[in-house]
Amino acid sequence: CLLEDRRFLASEDLPPEGAEGYLFPDTYTFPLATPQARILRGMIHRFREVTGVDFARRAADLGLTEQQAVTLASLIESETGREQERRLVAAVFLNRLHIGMPLQSDPTVLYGRPGHDRTITHADLHRPTPYNTYTIPGLPPTPIANPGRAALEAAVDPAPVDYLYFVGRGDGTHEFSRTLAAHATAVARYQRQRH
């Protein structure tokens, strides 16, 4: 598969670990018999168009490599579908990275686990995988999704807030907190609402 072919990846200036994260999610039109390489190059080219020349510089301003910024964007993409929350999620993860706090991102747990069950168990949170940000420090080794424009932008332009926590409200939105005590209160409130 070209997605894991090191020569193909090198020819597209992608990391040797794979193309995930760099295949821009968009609507594409290709003739039926279009070769796989041409389709992938089109998606990668679109990624480069969207991120532009400033993306790597803006990532560096935050202390990130381009690959780390793409990985961060993939977490943002996986955590929220709400555009107005993406910069807040970015801020939470960057704030945690800067103080050495685990990211504790549920989508990374799901990504590193076999199967398609979306329920996370207590055991899953402690299962060591290269992607489980409850057990590994920092970002996972590669992106876990192909982020869209809003997530990519948020990764290099986080909200200027000092939040360290967020919890899903159950309606697709999140509550953000600065302290563990405030976060625990929010978690308890939304768990009560679910039951």
How far is Cα 193 from Cα 195, in angstroms, rounded to an integer?
6
Our count of domains for the chain comes to: 1
Would residue 175 count as lying in a domain? no
Would residue 173 count as lying in a domain? no
Out of 63-72, 76-85, 115-124, which region has the weakest mean confidence (pLDDT)?
Answer: 115-124
Would residue 190 count as lying in a domain? no
CA 123 to chain centre: 22
User: Counting runs of H as helices and runs of E as strands, what totals does the chain give?
Assistant: 9, 2
Mean per-residue pLDDT, 114-140 = 90
Q: Is 165 helix (H, G, I), strand (E, B) or coil?
A: strand
How far is Cα 110 from Cα 125, in angstroms, rounded to an integer?
10
Q: Confidence class of residue 4 from pLDDT cuts 50, 70 and 90?
A: confident
Give me the pLDDT at residue 195, please: 64
pLDDT, tens digit, for every residue of 70-108? 999 999 999 999 999 999 999 999 999 999 999 999 999
Helical segments of 52-148, H only: 54-61, 66-79, 83-99, 106-111, 122-126
Using CA atoms, how far residue 133 sits from 33, 54, 93, 122, 136, in Å, is: 40, 28, 11, 14, 5
Q: Which domain holds residue 142?
A: 2-163
Out of 28-37, 120-129, 138-147, which region has the weakest mean confidence (pLDDT)?
Answer: 120-129
Would residue 114 count as lying in a domain? yes
Would residue 187 count as lying in a domain? no
- pLDDT tops 70 at residue 37: yes
Would residue 51 count as lying in a domain? yes
Would residue 27 count as lying in a domain? yes
- pLDDT tops 80 at residue 111: yes
How far is Cα 118 from Cα 111, in angstroms, rounded to an integer?
10
Would residue 101 count as lying in a domain? yes
